[in-house]
Amino acid sequence: MSRRAMIGLCGAVLVLNGCTNGALAGRPERRRYARSKIKALVANEAANLGVSVPLALAVAHAESYFDAQAESSAGARGVMQIMPATALGEYGIEPDLLWDPRINVRLGLHFLGRLLRRYRGRVDLALSYYNGGSAVGRLPNARVIPATYKYVVRVQRLEKQYRRQLARQVI
């Protein structure tokens, strides 16, 4: 399947799965969500997409502290801090839909899963790309982008913390 066809299919799947919650009719309602609900959403989506739950929670924590309305100075939006250009270019999803936490989390975790597969499970490289973009390069010459090093270390530390909490059932 071509890349363009896959992008369209991903967008269609999101819509068919009901992720838009009526948001296609206009700008989605921007409202606050309890962090506990966002954590549960992240954990469920990660499990459904085959992404490590502790890693998914760590990325969401580092990116937005589970805030569905977070917006970076660069314009990244939502729980997983997705750039509008990435949502539109990679998935065919309109930028305003990034305020819907279900869409945002699903896109962010799908993208993270894709990066983990691209880098053959190298979490450090996937995180560096997620945070800093394509300067990571391709295997076998891929390297963590120096500007993302602190982010990668922080997410890996948070991942260990969430792994311990999940083992004790304290989330």
User: What are the domain boundaries of the chain?
Assistant: 3-119
**How confident is residue 10, by pLDDT bands cut at 50, 70 and 90?**
low
Residue pair 159/58 in contact by the 8 Å Cβ criterion: yes
Q: Per the residue annotation, which of 29, 45, 63, 71 is the catalytic one?
A: 63
**DSSP symbol at 17:** T
pTM, entire model: 0.83
Residue 45 is a catalytic residue: no
Closest Cα partner for 127 from 159, 152, 163? 152
CATH 1.10.530.10 is the classification of domain 3-119: yes
pLDDT 10s digits, 68-83:
999 999 999 999 999 9
Cis peptide before 28 (omega within 30 of 0): no
Q: How far is CA 108 from CA 115, 147, 157, 164, 167, in A?
A: 11, 21, 20, 23, 24
pLDDT in tens, 109-140: 999 999 999 999 999 999 999 999 999 999 99
Using one digit for the tens of pLDDT, what is the confidence trace for 31-56? 789 999 999 999 999 999 999 999 99
Quickly list DSSP for 118-155. HTTT-HHHHHHHHHH-GGG--TTS----GGGHHHHHHH
